[in-house]
Amino acid sequence: MDCLFCKIIAGDIPCAKVYEDEKILAFKDINPQAPVHVLVIPKTHIACADEITSANSGVIAHIFENIPNIARLAGVKNGYRIVSNCGEDGCQSVKHLHFHILGGEKLTERMA
Ligand code: AMP
Ligand code: ZN
């Protein structure tokens, strides 16, 4: 499958890894929009939030169970924002579900 994040999971494209286990991978965003900007992805290919079902949602719970630790490993100390863009109007550019963790400074109150 021609998916950038599946290639990162496979090790075919390098990443700056923050955390990895058997189900998920977290790595630094290549174009950071905050002092801390990490992406957390499931190792199984799920295109976006539209494709979360009762059959695959276990990995989503696993991501959220691990986000506090991932944020700490990435260096956030005073809170963070979690963002997941979905589809055209959401400006999703990589069609493999991912959660942005943004922090390291006071973020803007406006989200869109
Ligand atoms: P989105 O626009 O929500 O689909 O987010 C995709 C994110 O992936 C963007 O913030 C990009 O900067 C980031 N990105 C694209 N290619 C890479 C890469 N090779 N390594 C790390 N982050 C990437
Ligand atoms: Zn993928």
Task: List CB contacts of 106: < 8 A, sequence separation 6 or more.
Answer: none
pLDDT mean across residues, the chain: 98
41 within domain boundaries: yes
- C-alpha closest to that of 68 among 33, 38, 97: 38
Percent of the chain with pLDDT over 70: 100
- The total domain count for the chain is 1
Task: List CB contacts of 94: < 8 A, sequence separation 6 or more.
Answer: 3, 4, 5
Q: Return the active site residues.
A: 98
Examine the pLDDT at 1 and tell me if it is beyond 90: no
Q: What's the whole-number mean pLDDT along residues 11-33? A: 98
E strands, 43-91, are 80-83
Examine the pLDDT at 59 and tell me if it is beyond 90: yes
CATH number where 89 lies: 3.30.428.10
User: What's the domain range around 39?
Assistant: 4-103
Q: What's the whole-number mean pLDDT along residues 56-67? A: 98
Candidate from 37, 38, 93 with most ligand 1 atoms within 8 A of CB, to mutate = 93
What pTM value is reported for the model? 0.98
Instruction: Using alpha carbons, list the distances in angstroms from residue 110 to 16, 19, 37, 92, 107.
Output: 29, 29, 17, 19, 9
Examine the pLDDT at 79 and tell me if it is beyond 90: yes
Candidate from 39, 84, 102 with most ligand 1 atoms within 8 A of CB, to mutate = 39
User: How many angstroms separate the alpha carbon of residue 51 from the centre of ligand 2?
Assistant: 12
